[in-house]
Structure 1
Amino acid sequence: MRLLILLAPLVLLLAWAPSWWVRQTMRKYSQPEDRYDGTGAELARDLLDRHGLHHVRVESTRDGDHYDPFDRAVRLSEDNHDGRSLTAITVAAHEVGHAVQHAQDYPPLRMRSNLVCLSRYGQQIGAWLMVAIPIITLIARHPAPGILFFLAGILSMGIAALVHFVTLPTEFDASFRRALPMLRRGNYLHPPDYPHAQRILKAAAYTYLAQSLMSLLNIASWFRFLRR
């Protein structure tokens, strides 16, 4: 128990640090705002058209930068959709990388999409189990079997953690096998900007590392609860 107390701050720091680094990196290269002539949305549209993905839309969103494989849409935050900074251009290329993965039926992306669908149902069932367990205990006048608690935790948190881990190779592929080569082939960036673009792409990929670590923390906390 003492070991867990001592390690908890370190684990929390490891989970928080990647998220902080991502935000700092994105903010750093958002200046100057007029670094490029075209916007992130314009770059995304050009890259999609070059890959024959004319049917994929480019949209502005408030939900964070992402590619939606179900609606076939590259969605960029308002700053990156309308922005002309190095961050806007690089993030747009990263999200187009996901669209190219989808067009080429990249297996990890397909697996992630299937798991996302599964996790939605799993989280709903897990939430219902959480509600049902006290009712079952009250009606049966006996504590609910531990397997129900275990199943609720796995459905609520385990599948989400698996989604994050499957996402990691997908993100690195979109960054370094798709986005960066596309930017280099098209000479889209000023030559001194390529090393900085690599940092942004690494940050875009590491976003999910932070989420994966937080998922592990949640699962660890759940198992400690079950052992009581």
Structure 2
Amino acid sequence: MYYGYGYGYGIDPTLILVLIGAAISALASMNVQGTFSKYNRIRNYRGLTSNQVAEHILHSAGIYDVKIERIRGNLTDHYSPNEKVLRLSDATYGQTSVAAIGVAAHECGHAIQHKESYAPLKLRAFSVPLANIGSKVSWPIILIGLLLGYSTIAELGVYLFSFVVIFQLITLPVEFDASARALRILDEDRLLEEDEHRGAKKVLKAAALTYVAALFTTILQLLRLVLIVNRVSRNDD
């Protein structure tokens, strides 16, 4: 048995990668929560609700078959292309804050991507099953390989885990593009005042950074797994 994954009875030095990833994720989460909280206290001058803005953006893009629904939670907002439903969280639905409008506009960006058959969005949808397999199956396979001392089995798990990294890499342009579309429409249709628009931009930038942090954290996890499995492989030799 490879106690400590081949590092004897000492502390696994690759744990530093886990700690770095956890710190990055925590900072990104604190940043988006703090930014949203700040601009959630600022109401837009025109008194528009997030629902009204979302409906306006959708209709301006020629989209009339997407429903807007409320969903429980805080910042659980998302667009479901299969159901054609835009779901706004408790913190966003019906709110008039700059933050809520920014988030709602971002989700409308995804609906527009869907309507226009935006290639990265289609690619992300295609990669979802592979990412799910990678996230659920990779760890058990890696652990079995490490416990039995079979590096080939562990390497298979690492390859499967790489699907998660690929999925998150594909996600970045999808999210950045949705925010860019949202900000452009908010500006062109003069839905927000200049200072309000800057606030919405900061909220969406903070949200986008959480995806960057998630990707970086997952890459660090993958690097750690590669180092561990390579160590076991050398021991096999």
TM-score range relative to shorter protein: 0.7 to 0.9
How far 1:121 moved relative to its partner? Answer: 3.2
Alpha-carbon distance, 1:7 to partner? 7.4
Aligned equivalent of 1:45, options 55, 61, 67: 55
TM-score calculated relative to the size of structure 2: 0.80
CA–CA distance in structure 2, aligned partners of residues 165 and 94 of structure 1: 19
Q: Which residue of 1 aligns with 2:178?
A: 174
Among candidates 212, 217, 220, match of residue 215 of structure 2 = 212
Q: Which residue of 193, 199, 203 corresponds with 1:200?
A: 203
1:18 deviates by 2.4
Cα deviations by residue, 1:91-145 (Å, 9 ceiling, x for unpaired): 10011011101111111111111111222234344366468x37xx8xxxxx363
Name the counterpart of 1:67.
79
Query: Given that residues 39 and 98 in structure 2 are in contact (C-alpha distance below 8 angstroms), is that contact kept between their aligned partners in structure 1?
Result: yes
Task: Classify the secondary structure of the residue corresponding to 1:74.
Answer: strand
- Are 2:159 and 1:149 equivalent residues in the alignment? no
Letter in 1 for 2:184: P
The size of the alignment, in residue pairs, is 218
Q: What percent identity do the matched residue pairs reach?
A: 31
Amino acid at match of 1:181: R
Amino acid at match of 1:217: L
After superposition, residues 1-228 of structure 1 pair within 5 angstroms as 12-32=22-42, 37-62=47-72, 64-126=76-138, 129=141, 133=144, 143=148, 145-155=150-160, 157-176=161-180, 178-226=181-229, 227-228=231-232
Letter paired with 1:102: H
Q: Say if 1:39 and 1:82, in contact at 8 Å, map to a contact too.
A: yes
Shift in CA distance, 212/36, structure 1 to aligned 2, threshold 3 Å: farther
Q: Which has the higher helix share?
A: 1
Letter in 2 for 1:196: G
Cα shift at 1:62: 2.9
Larger relative contact order, structure 1 or 2 (CA cutoff 8 Å, min sep 6) = 2
Instruction: Measure the CA separation in 2 of the matches of 1:162 and 1:197.
Output: 29
Q: Deviations over 1:55-105 (max 9, x none)?
A: 112122236112222222212211101211100011100110111011111
AA partner of residue 19 (structure 1): S
Q: Measure how far apart 1:225 and its partner are.
A: 2.5
Is 1:35–1:84's contact at 8 Å kept on the other side of the alignment?
A: no
AA matched with 2:30: W
Where structure 1 has 5 or more consecutive residues not aligned to the other structure, the ranges are 138-142
Range with greater deviation from structure 2 (101-110 or 58-67): 58-67
Distance 1:5 1:152, change over 3 A: closer
| Cα distance in 1 between the residues matched to 2:132 and 2:21 | 27
Aligned Cα RMSD in Å?
2.8
Using the alignment, how far apart are the partners of 1:78 and 1:84 within structure 2? 12
